[in-house]
Amino acid sequence: MIGLYLDPPTQAVVLCCEEMSQCQPLEQGQPRLPLKQGAICTRTHDYFRHGTITLFAAMNYLNGKIIAERASRHRHQEWLKFLRKIEAEVPEGVEIHLILDNYATHKHPRVRAWLAKRPRFHLHFTPTSASWMNLVERFFRDLSEDVVLPGSFGSVGELAAAISEYLAERNLKPTRYEWKADGKTVPAKIKRAREALAHQQSVNKDSSEILH
C-alpha cells in the first residue's frame, strides 16, 4: 500500500477512501461572538443535536480532488452506492486502486460479489489500528476544523449544504497531501504500536485478576 504513495502506477488512479460517520450538526445555544480587537472569538458551552450524517469520500492522491457522497447511514448498501459513483466518475480503461480500512461494510459479501465483476478495482487495506496511513483522514481533519466544529447548524440539511459548498470550493483548487514518510520505517512503527497494545492488555488483565 505504501508503494502506491511512493510510486503511484500509471494509467490508474489511487483513491484514499473512508466514511466520516456520525457527523453531527450541532446548534449553539446562542450566536457566537466574532473575533475582534481586544476580544477573542466566543461560543456557548450548550448546544442542541440535530441527528447525524455520514460522508463517504474518495480523495485522489495525485491531484487532491474529492469524490463524495452523503448518506444517512453507512451500511454496505450505502458503500455500494458510493462505489458505483466512483465507477461512473473514473474514465473507462483506467485502473482504480482504493486505499481503505478493514471495516466490515467494505468486505460485505454483496460488495465482494460486485467487485468480482469489476477487475479494474484493486483494494488495499490499511493494517488494523493504522487509519493514519489513509491520507483521506487528513482531509477529514480539515473538514472538521473548517466546517463542522466552528459551525452552528439547525438541521442535517444545513450541515449537508455547508459540506457540499466546502467540497465544491475545495475541488476548484484541490490540495494534495503528499506521503513523505520513509516506507521502511512504517512496519517498525506498526510493530511497536502492537507490542505496546499487547503489553497494556496484559497489564490490564493482571490488574483485573488481582482485584478479583
DSSP letters, 51-112, are --EEEEEEEETTT--EEEEEES--SHHHHHHHHHHHHHHSPTT-EEEEEE---GGGG-HHHH
For the ranges 11-20, 72-81, 91-100, 196-205, the lowest mean pLDDT is seen at 196-205
What residues have CB less than 8 Å from 96, skipping those under 6 apart?
12, 13, 15, 86, 87, 90, 120, 121, 122
Q: What is the pLDDT, as a whole number, of residue 167?
A: 94
CATH classification of 2-177 is 3.20.20.150, yes or no? no
Q: Is residue 50 predicted with pLDDT exceeding 70?
A: no
Q: What is the mean pLDDT of residues 178-203?
A: 80
Q: What is the pLDDT, as a whole number, of residue 34?
A: 61
Question: For the chain, what percent of residues have pLDDT higher than 90?
Answer: 42
The Cα–Cα gap between 147 and 122 comes to 32
pLDDT band at 43 (very low <50, low <70, confident <90, very high): low
pLDDT band at 191 (very low <50, low <70, confident <90, very high): confident
| pLDDT, tens digit, 9 for 90 and up, residues 79-138 | 999 999 999 999 999 999 999 998 888 999 999 999 999 999 999 998 877 788 899 999
**Contact indicator for 57, 138 with CB cutoff of 8 Å:** no
State the Rg of the chain over Cα: 20
Q: What is the pLDDT, as a whole number, of residue 74?
A: 86
